[in-house]
Structure 1
């Protein structure tokens, strides 16, 4: 089923993200994780797109097996900046042959060695160019990434919104946000989308913090804002890993409940391939999820 059709039903989706292993030898560990996530009944599961040919082929295989073996809809990530047009054509043919109907189109992070190469001329400079080729390859439901606090590479937030508008105008059906820890910034972002005429649904990306090293890495990559409440948790439990994990899960639950109560189009949980933490989150939001999806009686 296409994700655009799921969202059109008017009920918030709850989905997961997993990532493929660096080596095909550990591929079965991913399927073990999927086995533990299956009974949580996510609306779909996304599979990230690693660098290098092996990881890329794993992405397609995992996304295909999620749908065929586990009975859950899947979405495959595709990144353009290190891909060739010819290679992408083959990948899209493989995705289509595998029965995958959904793709998240990304520019991708540019490798440092490419940034240093003045002669580097990527065939995909923008995600919008990749979206054009995906649309030409078949009837896929296409998602795009968005950044409530602005992409780290953007000149400013206005430029970032213009780039997002370009992606949506080129044919993306919905957006999935980068992780954030301040819901107010997400709601402000939604208001800005209205102002620039972006009407497609926005799925909120939530990453539960499970250890202090993870937080430092998140800040390094995304530069996301850490609100006072979140900082208090880090300061109080920095040297108590078990308590930090407990508090991190609780914080994610609070975020999700607030988002669902505010009418969000969907929530996308970055699982980090940690099924236990994801299970605890899903258990804690189950009643709220049922309540917001409950149909109002007809009058």
Structure 2
């Protein structure tokens, strides 16, 4: 169970995403089978903007929970959803025995107008967390941002929202990816002073190609440390060398976090079981 993992000094969990095409599901299940051999504490499954892949999220979470016999955490976004939309998905999750969700606002869907965005039913993740706790039996986790949410006016205001998520019932936090552990340590210290008492899990994304810096990382709003930037500059044109250096960088981050007493790690594994296995084999 999720709470049991915090009785230990360390835990390991993974994030996967649903395939965009139905005919890619077979390979997705093979990825999950491989990840299961690494014995993670749980596997989370992402959710498309506006609930566009909610059925796929439920299907994959069902496979993790009932075929692989691992704890599944289903992401749930609310930016383009009505209350009935949310309840329909929660009913599907409860029907297959998935009891834990990661509650997120989500990014604005491309087909959503500015007016629709401003008039959305759930303005923030805090509203979704409150709604889920009032209307379902699901356990709820939430996200947090070591370098603040890109839309937040300050770190203090972002941590205040984090405290609201806790007060609304969030039982743990999973952090956005970061590349300088010092940023995470400062963030955890500030969160502690602000009254955050539930566990915070560190989110780590291995950078195995230079193009990730210009896509995934930019969208996440995370800064790139000088050390990682130098790695990309040195190895960016050599795919194999970049992959090895990126994996080594993630391993060093995880080992340092564990050494400093922050051993609960969530790997954004990008559906790459071989890479994830290499990391798991190397961390102390």
TM range (shorter): over 0.9
Verify the 8 A CA contact 1:211 1:245 in the aligned structure 2: yes
Whole-Å Cα distance in 2 between the matches of residues 223 and 120 of structure 1?
Answer: 22
Verify the 8 A CA contact 2:129 2:169 in the aligned structure 1: yes
Whole-Å Cα distance in 1 between the matches of residues 63 and 269 of structure 2?
Answer: 18
Between 243-252 and 154-163, report the one with greater CA deviation: 154-163
Tell me: CA distance 1:265–1:197, structure 2 relative to 1, closer, same or farther (3 Å).
farther
Whole-Å Cα distance in 1 between the matches of residues 55 and 35 of structure 2?
Answer: 22
Tell me: CA distance 1:247–1:51, structure 2 relative to 1, closer, same or farther (3 Å).
same
Verify the 8 A CA contact 1:19 1:272 in the aligned structure 2: yes
Tell me: CA distance 1:50–1:113, structure 2 relative to 1, closer, same or farther (3 Å).
closer
Verify the 8 A CA contact 1:64 1:99 in the aligned structure 2: yes
1:215 CA drift (Å): 1.3
1:109 to 107, 110, 120: 107
Secondary structure of residue in 2 paired with 1:117: helix
Which residues of structure 1 form unaligned runs of 5+?
289-299
Please, what is the CA RMSD of the aligned residues?
1.6
1:87 matched to 2:85? The reply is: yes
Tell me: CA distance 1:119–1:164, structure 2 relative to 1, closer, same or farther (3 Å).
closer
Between 191-200 and 246-255, report the one with greater CA deviation: 191-200
User: Which residue pairs with 1:223 in the alignment?
Assistant: 221
State the TM-score, normalized to the length of structure 1: 0.91
User: Which residue pairs with 2:67 in the alignment?
Assistant: 69
1:54 CA drift (Å): 5.8
Secondary structure of residue in 1 paired with 2:49: coil
Whole-Å Cα distance in 2 between the matches of residues 137 and 252 of structure 1?
Answer: 39
User: Which residue pairs with 1:239 in the alignment?
Assistant: 237
1:93-172 matched pairs, under 5 angstroms: 93-114=91-112, 116-117=114-115, 120-172=118-170
Verify the 8 A CA contact 2:49 2:108 in the aligned structure 1: no
Verify the 8 A CA contact 2:50 2:77 in the aligned structure 1: no
Secondary structure of residue in 2 paired with 1:130: helix
Which residues of structure 2 form unaligned runs of 5+?
none
Between 125-134 and 217-226, report the one with greater CA deviation: 217-226
User: Which residue pairs with 1:294 in the alignment?
Assistant: none
Post-superposition Cα deviations, 1:153-196, rounded to whole Å, max 9, x if no partner, equal: 11121211111111111000000000000000000000101111
1:17 CA drift (Å): 0.4
Verify the 8 A CA contact 1:271 1:278 in the aligned structure 2: yes
Tell me: CA distance 1:21–1:105, structure 2 relative to 1, closer, same or farther (3 Å).
same
Tell me: CA distance 1:184–1:147, structure 2 relative to 1, closer, same or farther (3 Å).
same
Tell me: CA distance 1:273–1:92, structure 2 relative to 1, closer, same or farther (3 Å).
same
Whole-Å Cα distance in 1 between the matches of residues 117 and 188 of structure 2?
Answer: 38
